[in-house]
Structure 1
Amino acid sequence: MSNILIVTLEMEEVYQRHFNELRTRYFPAHANYLDAHITLFHHLPAAEPAITAALEAAAQRQPLMLTVAGIVHFGNGVAYRLVSDALQTMHSRLQQTFEPWLIRQDKQPLRPHITVQNKVTDFKARQLHETLSATFTPFEMKAVGLKTWRYLHGPWKAEQYFAFDALAE
């Protein structure tokens, strides 16, 4: 089993299904072995108890509202851009706590997104970006918790789920 832990933000089920359907439609089948996800941290040590404790503490909050604000073309793929001041604040606090274990990628400012296409040609990604952008209207969705995953050199294995507390102040 891998010692690498990935942390994601969990979205409400209706949007999870929506973005999974987009990935199924637009992601190359041979490379689409993950559900749609919002990655917060890419590489943390799985055996570090302070990480679990910090995630448990971070989940003691009300669900986060996210604005799905736009569609981004990034060369060989397309993603939906997410905006949330509350998410940025939570992520920054977790970065401070996780600082001893962060790789360079996880020390960067968070640019939250949901990738629906990757590992294609720039031409194909540009076409999808134009198609999706033509009818896109920003919308709100709820993030309902945090989740950890073991990295299995391709697929991920779900580990723990930390649900946000709707009754928290």
Structure 2
Amino acid sequence: MRPLVVTATFDVATQAGLDRLRERWFPPERNQLAAHLTLFHALPGEALDDVCAALDRACAGAAPRAEVSGVRSLGRGAALVLDSPGLVRVRAGLAAEFASRLTRQDGQGFRPHVTVQNFVTPEVARSTVEELGRDLVPWTVQVSGLAVHRYLGGPWELLRESRFTAV
């Protein structure tokens, strides 16, 4: 069974703005997804019911706030850095629940970010990081929920979204 991807979701205006950045900077032929903040890259597909229940429990409280606070190089791309102690706590709680099911990548530290460019040369990435960093004015975004997707070898299929009960 194909793996599950868990992401944080944003309010409509934030999502639209992040999508515009991704459309501007991501190579169009490689841009198969909307802008996203991945919490887990590959949970076991057969754990769908457990994952959905855990996301519902995690969303039973207030939505964490996040600040887009910087730009990070991905070597062959660029990402917006999000500072969100609340989201880090939510993710840590989920990681504890999924501990026996985490891949090596998902078991490593969590550094919240939204990739706006990937699959470019290091030179193009450096230029993008420089331009994004020069123009960046930190802004606050609202995390609205958590979503689980099925990985389909490139694109994802949205299976379920849980919304935080208080914004």
TM-score w.r.t. the length of structure 1 is 0.95
1:50 Cα deviation after fit? 2.1
8 Å CA contact retained: 2:62, 2:165 = yes
> How many residue pairs end up in the alignment?
166
**Runs of 4+ in structure 1 over 4 Å off:** none
| Amino acid aligned to 1:47 | E
For 2:2 and 2:124, how far apart are their aligned partners in 1?
A: 35
Query: How do residues 107-122 of structure 1 correspond to structure 2 at under 5 angstroms?
Result: 107-122=107-122
Q: Distance in 2 between matches of 1:42 and 1:14?
A: 25
Any idea what SS the aligned residue of 1:86 has?
A: helix
Look up the match of 2:3. 4
**Which string of whole-angstrom CA distances, capped at 9 and with x for unpartnered residues, describes residues 63-88 of structure 1?**
11001110111210000001111111
- 2:31 — aligned with what? 32
Q: What SS class does the counterpart of residue 81 from structure 2 fall into?
A: strand
Q: Secondary structure at the match of 2:132?
A: helix
The answer to whether the 8 Å contact 2:82/2:113 transfers is yes
What secondary structure, in the 3-state scheme, does the structure 2 residue paired with 1:71 have?
strand
Match of 1:45 in 2: 44
Is there any run of 5+ residues in structure 2 with no aligned partner, and where? none
Q: List runs of 5+ in structure 1 lacking aligned partners.
A: none
Distance 2:122 2:99 in 1: 35
- Corresponding residue for 2:91? 91
